């Protein structure tokens, strides 16, 4: 069911094009998650005085089930989609005694609306679904970081934001004193929603964080064009509707004036918004499975909003003209029912034509998460070769 992340993001636009109803101004305001009560997650008053990637604070915490590693939280200054300063947090596991070990920032599946669902809180429970697979490379002697890449408002669906937060998290890890990562070679990895964050970070890096040297980026099952995907979704029932609704709420949090989604909900929709606004993947999926957009919206006019289409394009890496300079390993299922292969192949072709070092691997697989399992061994081997300093291959 994790693959419904994509349909969640797609279906979000269903709410954006609705005609505004007669609900009060108060109900039209975005509903943000309850802030984490832990003071570590509270932004300082002088956050705007810091530069993107500057460290706000660090702390060493208990490593839970992982032995032989040091486990840190690092808070840092980042930037949201409007260009305003925000505070981000990443979690890093470092082999004990290691100095400048290879560092992988792994963008996990978050698929949620609550702060309690971020990897900094949920790393050791079932909410961070792919966490155990993400930390397997610890056995190779690498440090593994998992950023809360949706930002402090858990803006689920905001892909460009996730790229900026990811890059700033890496900046912070290399700047933080006491971690021993200042000269570590760095790679990015992720699948599904995490691949979207990784792909956006790769595309933004040459202009947003040009000082960072990424030795490689491995990403699979990337939804490269959410506008294209949105055109194929309707208002009928869907098992992933809960995540669809969550994506609408997350995008509204990031674009409150451009996507006034809450103003377009009926009473049932406003109730469901309140019911889910602090919740995680399993809760949202279970409680949304038998619902649909018809039940939540006052009226409908699918994809009629130019502003909605513009926001989707701004969060589609296919529409972003810049080309990554880091070596890339992208993989995709040819018959993937969730993320159109044709668009992913088009991005790969464009990157190749621009001279990117890209290895694009395809699988004759339709089920989305099966492709993840098939592709990760090759992805980790690709990253390990980059850490050894081997020249980046390309099958362009």
Q: Is residue 223 in some structural domain?
A: yes
Is 256 within a domain?
yes
Residue 146, token pair as written in the block:
């998992």
Residue 155: closest CA among 262, 257, 284, 255: 255
Percent of the chain with pLDDT over 70: 85
- Distance (Å) of CA 185 to CA 30, 90, 171, 281, 288: 40, 17, 12, 33, 42
pLDDT of residue 64: 67
Whether residue 11 is predicted with pLDDT greater than 80 in this model: the reply is no
In total, how many domains does the chain have?
Answer: 1
* pLDDT digits 0-9 by tens, 163-195: 999 999 999 999 999 999 999 999 999 998 899
Q: Is the residue at 239 inside a domain?
A: yes
**pLDDT tens sequence across 323-360:** 999 999 999 999 987 788 999 999 999 999 999 999 99
With 80 as the cut, is the pLDDT of residue 17 above it? no
Q: Return the bridge partners of 98, or none.
A: none
Give whichever of 74-83, 122-131, 304-313 has the largest mean pLDDT: 74-83
- In the block, tokens 């792909």 appear at 199
Residue 238 in contact with residue 292, Cβ under 8 Å?
yes
What does the pLDDT read at residue 63? 64
Residue 170 lies in a domain: yes
CATH label of the domain that carries residue 310: 3.40.50
The yes-or-no verdict on residue 242 having pLDDT over 50 is: yes
Convert the pLDDT of each residue in 203-219 to its tens digit: 999 999 999 999 999 99
Using the predicted structure, report yes or no on whether residue 77 has a pLDDT greater than 90: yes
Asked if the model's pLDDT at residue 303 lies above 70, the reply is: no
CA distance 379 to 384: 9
Q: Are strands 69-79 and 85-95 parallel, antiparallel or unpaired?
A: antiparallel
> Which has more confidence, 156 or 7?
156
Residue 214 gets which letter from DSSP? Answer: E
CA distances from 209 to 46, 105, 162, 213 (A): 22, 15, 14, 9
The pLDDT assigned to 19 comes to: 33
Across-strand partners of 77? 87
Q: What's the average model confidence in pLDDT over 245-265? A: 90
Is 300 among the domain residues? yes
Which domain, by its residues, includes 22? 1-319
Does residue 226 contact residue 214 with C-beta atoms inside 8 Å?
A: no
- Residue 243 is predicted with a pLDDT of 82
Give the model confidence (pLDDT) of 142-169 as tens digits: 999 999 999 999 999 999 999 999 999 9
Distances (CA, A) of 48 to 36, 56, 200, 386: 21, 11, 24, 36
Q: How many whole angstroms separate alpha carbon 369 and alpha carbon 98?
A: 33
Please give the residue that has the higher pLDDT: either 21 or 377. 377
- Residues, the chain, total? 396
Q: Is 190 within the bounds of a domain? A: yes
| Residue 297 belongs to a domain | yes
Q: How far from 285 is each of 75, 150, 156, 181, 387, CA to CA, in Å?
A: 30, 19, 14, 38, 38
pLDDT of residue 231: 60
Task: Tell me the average pLDDT of the chain.
Answer: 87
pLDDT band at 307 (very low <50, low <70, confident <90, very high): confident
Residue 206: inside a domain, yes or no?
yes
Per-residue confidence at 293, pLDDT binned at 50, 70, 90?
A: confident
Taking the C-alpha atoms of residue 75 and residue 73, their distance in angstroms, rounded to an integer, is: 7
Could you please report the per-residue DSSP string of 30-90? --PPPPPSSGGGSPPTTGGGSPTT-EEEEEEE--TT--SEEEEEEEEEEE-TTS-EEEEEE
Average pLDDT of the segment spanning 357-368: 94
Q: Rounded mean pLDDT of 107-119?
A: 92
């Amino acid at each position: 069911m994790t693959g419904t992340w994509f349909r969640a993001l797609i279906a979000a636009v269903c709410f954006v094009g609705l005609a505004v109803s007669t609900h009060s101004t108060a109900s039209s305001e975005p509903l943000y998650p309850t802030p984490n009560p832990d003071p570590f997650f509270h932004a300082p008053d002088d956050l705007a005085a810091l530069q993107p990637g500057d460290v706000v604070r660090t702390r060493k915490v208990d490593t839970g089930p992982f032995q032989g590693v040091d486990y840190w939280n690092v808070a840092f200054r980042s930037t949201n989609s409007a260009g305003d300063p925000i505070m981000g947090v990443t979690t890093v596991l470092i082999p004990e005694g290691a100095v400048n070990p290879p560092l992988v920032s792994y963008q996990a599946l978050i698929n949620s609306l609550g702060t309690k669902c971020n990897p900094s809180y949920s790393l050791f429970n079932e909410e961070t679904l792919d966490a155990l697979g993400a930390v397997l490379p610890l056995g190779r002697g690498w440090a593994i970081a998992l950023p809360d890449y949706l930002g402090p408002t858990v803006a689920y669906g905001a892909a460009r934001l996730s790229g900026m937060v990811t890059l700033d998290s890496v900046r912070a890890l290399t700047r933080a004193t006491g971690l021993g990562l200042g000269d570590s070679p760095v790679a990015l990895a992720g699948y599904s929603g995490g691949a979207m964050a990784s792909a956006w970070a790769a595309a933004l890096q040459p202009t947003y964080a040009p000082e960072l040297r990424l030795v490689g980026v491995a990403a699979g099952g990337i939804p490269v064009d959410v506008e294209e995907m949105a055109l194929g979704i309707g208002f009928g029932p869907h098992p992933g509707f809960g995540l669809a609704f969550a994506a609408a709420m997350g995008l509204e949090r990031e674009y409150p004036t451009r996507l006034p989604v809450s103003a377009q909900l009926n009473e049932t929709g406003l109730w469901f918004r309140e019911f889910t606004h602090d919740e995680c993947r399993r809760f949202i999926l279970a409680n949304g499975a038998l619902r649909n957009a018809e039940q939540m919206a006052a009226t409908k006019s699918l994809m009629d909003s130019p502003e909605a289409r513009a926001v989707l394009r701004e969060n589609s890496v296919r529409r972003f003209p810049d080309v990554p300079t880091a070596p890339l390993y992208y993989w995709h299922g040819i018959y993937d029912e969730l993320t159109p292969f044709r668009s992913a192949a088009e991005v790969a072709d464009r990157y190749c034509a621009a001279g990117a070092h890209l290895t694009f691997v395809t699988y004759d697989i339709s089920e989305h998460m099966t492709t993840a399992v098939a592709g990760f061994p090759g992805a980790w081997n690709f990253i390990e070769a980059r850490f050894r300093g081997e020249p980046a291959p390309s099958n362009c």
